[in-house]
């Protein structure tokens, strides 16, 4: 990736432990404006921890994380909340507020952060973003009435309503069927084109990585083992990376 | 004891992370370490509550909504238990008093018992069971399903929105519920006394309040405020600390009730000592 492109996320030597368990061991990673960066790795390899550090939900033990030029770890709560308005976080579990309808879920960030908006403007924004993810018909449904794929899309819609500059997707295709996975992958690409976002996509799904990623970073043993486009990453002699590729395609007996 | 290492195979190969998990499990902190870290966490949680309480913006709408859930939604159970307590206490007290020909003391005996002790305690115990467990389970489930994190990344302060509003609601509504429980309990007692001794409504309540002082009512209201705060903060704390999925949610709800009840009895003992010293 050329160095003259604008960096929106800049991670240097980030480490994180939980007790004696070292999860991240000196991560270096950059996200450039307008690109989709996929972080691939096995379950428990620290992928989700990494994006939670970027969003300021966890603090790293060592190293630096700069997002849109701000050192996340050094920001006061108010400044951090302001920065977070530029970051959309799509959770693995969708994290829809289950006591609220879809409409209320989408209104929640708007009502709390853009207090000058009228009722009509809020409704318009909710309907527009829900239309963008193709689920306008679910407006008055409760999260419990939705399928896994619908929840994921509405989770994405809720983050898009504040028009973020950076999108962080945590396992966007985890636990859903292959056809819905493709729809979610297409949605991630559509979001980038329509909302002009830069995204980090955390996944272990190679189809998702291939469809959405401009660049892939392979996380192994708490470090970025390889970085590049999809083919570059898997053209390697590193057994750990080869195994990750081979075990994604189960041969017929 | 060290765990045996599995045979090296590409996918089953034990990574550094897995090795660290095993080491971490072997080096579990001791009981005193856990106890002091818990005390520190609780202290930080309560301190944060008071800091957020006075820091704008204030979540007025959410506080009112929570007051509705804590207060209005508890009326049915408070009515039932308060009324039954009044009747049962009167029925149980009558035989002892009639042995001494002192059934005319029933209204004052009952009012003292209900206003000084039963109404605050019964309201607090019911609130611990109904409201405390509800708060623990709700926040616990929001925690394990990342809803609290989602709130945080959408530019909202979840502590203020979820914790401060709930603790304020329980602190404000418990005294009201206590007064209501006392009223309903006295009504139950009146019905029973009226049925047996044909005492008039006016005469019953005039006898009932003859022995009640301002200090009694003030002490009961103060107790309810303390109980309300304890139920709210314990429910929120256990919910906020919930881990390990649905098991953690169940544990949070259970802990909210058990710890609240324990704390309520300790507080009751302390406040009674203080009030008796003032009397």
pLDDT tens digits for A87-143? 999 998 889 999 899 999 999 999 888 888 899 999 999 999 999 888 999 999 999
Cis peptide before B63 (omega within 30 of 0): no
Of A21, A92, A97, the CB nearest to B20: A21
Q: What is the ipTM of this complex?
A: 0.87
The ranges assigned to domains in chain B are: 67-278
Q: Mean pLDDT, to the nearest integer, of A131-156?
A: 92
State residue B27's pLDDT score.
Answer: 57
Chain A contact present for B69, CB below 8 A: no
What length is written for chain B? Answer: 279
B8 at the A interface (CB within 8 A)? Answer: no
Phi/psi for A70 (5° steps) reads -105, 135
Instruction: Phi first, then psi: give them for residue A96, nearest 5 degrees.
Output: -70, 145
Cβ atoms of B76 and B83 within 8 Å: the answer is no
Query: Rounded to an integer, what distance in angstroms lies between the CA atom of residue B102 and that of residue A70?
Result: 78
Is a pLDDT exceeding 50 seen at residue B9? no
- Asked if the Cβ–Cβ distance from B17 to A21 is below 8 Å, we say yes
Looking only at the bridges linking them, the beta strands covering A166-170 and A198-203 are parallel
- A247 or A128: which carries more pLDDT confidence? A128
Beta bridge partners of A217: A39, A227
**What pLDDT is stored for residue B22 in this prediction?**
52
* C-beta atoms of B24 and A109 within 8 A: no
> Which of B130, B132, B115 is CA-nearest to residue B184?
B115
Instruction: Enumerate residues 20 to 59 of chain A having a beta carbon within 8 A of any beta carbon in chain B.
Output: 20-23, 25, 42, 44-46, 52, 55, 57
d(CA B45, CA B240): 10
pLDDT of residue B33: 80
Asked whether the predicted pLDDT for residue B81 surpasses 50, the reply is yes
Dist CA B159 CA B133 (whole Å): 18
Yes or no: say if B249 and B140 are a contact pair by the CB < 8 Å rule: yes
The per-residue pLDDT for range B18-77, each reduced to its tens digit, is 455 455 555 566 777 877 888 888 999 999 999 999 988 888 999 999 999 999 999 999
What domains lie within chain A, and their CATH numbers?
A: 7-246 (3.40.50.300)
- Give pLDDT tens digits for A25-48: 999 999 999 999 999 988 888 899
Q: How confident is the model at residue B86 (pLDDT cuts 50, 70, 90)?
A: very high
DSSP B163: I
Taking all residues of chain B, what is their mean pLDDT, rounded to a whole number?
A: 88
Phi, psi of A6 (to 5 degrees): -70, 125
CB atoms within 10 A of CB A131: 11
Considering only the beta carbons, identify the residue of B21, B146, B147 that sits closest to A21: B21
């Amino acid at each position: 990736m050329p160095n003259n492109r604008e960096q929106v996320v800049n991670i240097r030597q980030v480490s994180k432990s939980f007790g004696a368990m070292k999860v991240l061991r000196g991560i270096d990673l950059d996200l450039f404006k307008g690109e989709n960066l996929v972080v691939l790795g096995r379950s428990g390899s620290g992928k989700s921890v990494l994006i939670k550090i970027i969003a300021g939900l966890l603090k790293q033990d060592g190293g630096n994380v700069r997002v849109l030029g701000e050192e996340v770890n050094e920001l006061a709560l108010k400044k951090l909340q302001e920065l977070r308005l530029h970051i959309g976080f799509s959770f693995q579990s969708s994290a829809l507020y289950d006591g609220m309808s879809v409409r209320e879920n989408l209104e929640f960030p708007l009502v709390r952060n853009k207090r000058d908006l009228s009722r009509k403007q809020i409704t318009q924004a909710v309907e527009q973003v829900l239309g963008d993810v193709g689920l306008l018909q679910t407006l008055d449904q409760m999260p419990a009435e939705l399928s896994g794929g619908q929840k994921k899309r509405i989770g994405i819609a809720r983050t898009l309503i504040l028009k973020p500059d950076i999108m962080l997707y945590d396992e966007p295709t985890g636990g859903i069927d292959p056809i819905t996975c493709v729809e979610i992958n297409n949605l991630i690409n559509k979001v980038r084109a329509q909302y002009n976002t830069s995204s980090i996509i955390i996944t272990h799904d190679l189809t998702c990585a291939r469809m959405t990623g401009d660049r892939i970073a392979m996380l192994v043993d708490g470090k970025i083992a390889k970085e590049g486009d999809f083919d570059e990453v898997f053209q390697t002699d590193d057994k750990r990376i080869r195994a990750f590729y081979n075990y994604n395609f189960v041969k017929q007996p | 004891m060290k765990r045996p290492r599995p045979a090296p195979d590409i996918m089953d190969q034990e990574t550094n992370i897995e090795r660290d998990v095993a080491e971490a499990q072997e080096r579990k902190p001791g009981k005193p370490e856990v106890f002091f870290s818990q005390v520190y966490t609780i202290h930080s949680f309560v301190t944060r509550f008071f800091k957020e309480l006075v820091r704008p913006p204030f979540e007025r709408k959410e506080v009112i909504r929570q007051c509705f859930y804590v207060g209005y939604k508890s009326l049915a159970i408070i009515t039932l238990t308060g009324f039954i307590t009044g009747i049962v206490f009167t029925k149980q007290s009558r035989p002892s008093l009639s042995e001494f020909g002192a059934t005319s003391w029933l209204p004052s005996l009952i009012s003292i018992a209900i206003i000084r002790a039963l109404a605050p305690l019964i309201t607090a115990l019911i609130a611990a069971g109904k409201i405390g467990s509800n708060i623990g389970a709700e926040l616990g489930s929001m925690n394990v399903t990342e809803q609290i994190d989602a709130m945080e990344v959408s530019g909202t302060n979840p502590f203020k929105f979820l914790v401060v509003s709930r603790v304020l609601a329980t602190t404000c509504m418990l005294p009201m519920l206590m007064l209501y429980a006392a009223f309903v309990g006295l009504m139950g007692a009146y019905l029973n006394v009226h049925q047996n001794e044909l005492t008039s409504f006016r005469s019953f309540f005039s006898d009932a309040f003859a022995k009640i002082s301002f200090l009694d009512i003030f002490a009961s209201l103060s107790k309810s405020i303390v109980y309300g705060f304890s139920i709210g903060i314990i429910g929120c704390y256990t919910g906020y600390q919930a881990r390990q999925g649905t098991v953690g949610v169940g544990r949070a709800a259970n802990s909210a009730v058990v710890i609240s009840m324990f704390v309520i009895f300790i507080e009751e003992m302390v406040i009674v000592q203080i009030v008796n010293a003032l009397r």
